Amino acid sequence: MNKLLDRSQSCLIASALAIALLGGCATTGAADPRDPIEPVNRAVFEFNDTVDRAVLKPVARGYKAVLPEPVRTGISNFFSNLRDPWIGLNQLLQGKVEEGVTDFMRFVVNTTFGLAGIFDVASEGGMEKHDEDFGQTLGVWGLDTGPYLVLPFLGPSSVRDGVGRAADSVAYLPWQGPRLMDAGDEIALRNSLTATDVVQTRAGLLDATNVLEEAALDRYAFVRDAYFQRRRNQVYDGRPPAEPYEDIDYEEAPPAAPAKPDAGKAPPAAPAPAQPSGTSQDAR
């Protein structure tokens, strides 16, 4: 009993030390309140990035170089189709019956007429593809995202969406399907299907990550801020309630000059009281 306690205590101390050490080299001033374990997250982000650069990205590039676009689209459609039943179930859990029924019909139509999902005939027939997961369902049920979490290998997430991903993985057909089918080489099939899915997904994101590399000053913060906005938008199915950002009167005179009267334009948020002119720009 005592020994156990000692062990868990030393574990705690060791991890606290690790966090402090990581924090020491990764601290960037005041933290984002949504990201209380930023040093740990940054470390995992770096790790994922290293894995991506060393393995996943080169493989995805090769995949894209070798396979012609129609083949890649077929493979992408195949995996996309395997996600539709779970997407449909999440729609139902969110109370969206019509969308949910559409997703199940997409699965039936594409699996049969679309030759195991290789052709997305449902989209051509006007049944729109949706994007739902259990994290979004939890969001619709009123759960807040909770703190930001970068998952090893899986990337940006949050406490809520991490729970969501655990549920999603139970319903992940390329992994679960072979087991249920009771095929001969189920483990080999399961692994190769999942690996192909990972590579084809990464290949589809190559363009986006190239843009990200160029756009971001700090990729970690950029991805994090985009993640929270994106998830909020997804939970509200693209129609989130307006979240007015503080509008800055860009024509307002800089410090030490007399303020220009606002030309009939009332910004939604009133400007804060003027800073004392003595404030240095590097004031913390």
Q: Which residues in 48-107 contact another protein (CB under 8 A)?
A: 73, 76-77, 80
- Distance from CA of residue 194 to its chain's centroid? 19
Q: Is 36 in the site for another protein (CB under 8 A)?
A: no
| In the complex, least distance from residue 154 CB atom to another protein, rounded to whole angstroms | 20
| In the complex, least distance from residue 167 CB atom to another protein, rounded to whole angstroms | 20
Number of helices followed by number of strands (H, E) in the chain? 12, 2
* Three-class DSSP category at 157: strand
Q: Which residues in 156-185 contact another protein (CB under 8 A)?
A: none
Using CB under 8 A, pick the residue from 19, 26, 32, 163 that binds another protein.
Answer: 32
Q: With left for phi above 0 and alpha for psi between -120 and 50, is residue 151 left, alpha or beta?
A: beta
Rounded to the nearest 5°, which phi and psi values hold at 61? -60, -45
Q: Is the dihedral of CA 238, 240, 246, 248 positive or negative?
A: positive
Task: Decide if 148 contacts 35 (C-beta within 8 A).
Answer: yes
Q: Is 126 in the site for another protein (CB under 8 A)?
A: no
The residue type of 263 is A
Using CB under 8 A, pick the residue from 169, 229, 260, 262 that binds another protein.
Answer: 229
241 vs 244: CA distance, rounded Å: 9
Q: Is 125 in the site for another protein (CB under 8 A)?
A: no
Identify which of residues 10 and 279 has a Cβ nearer to another protein in the complex: 279
- For 252, residues 6+ apart whose C-beta sits below 8 A from its C-beta are 259, 260, 262, 271
Using CB under 8 A, pick the residue from 9, 188, 255, 270 that binds another protein.
Answer: 255
Segment interacting with another protein, rule: CB under 8 A, options 1-9, 95-103, 183-191, 239-247: 239-247
Point out which residues bind another protein (CB under 8 A): 28-30, 32, 73, 76-77, 80, 120, 123, 128-131, 204, 207, 210-211, 214-218, 221-222, 224-226, 229-230, 232-234, 238, 240, 245-252, 254-255, 265, 271-272, 274-275, 279-282, 284
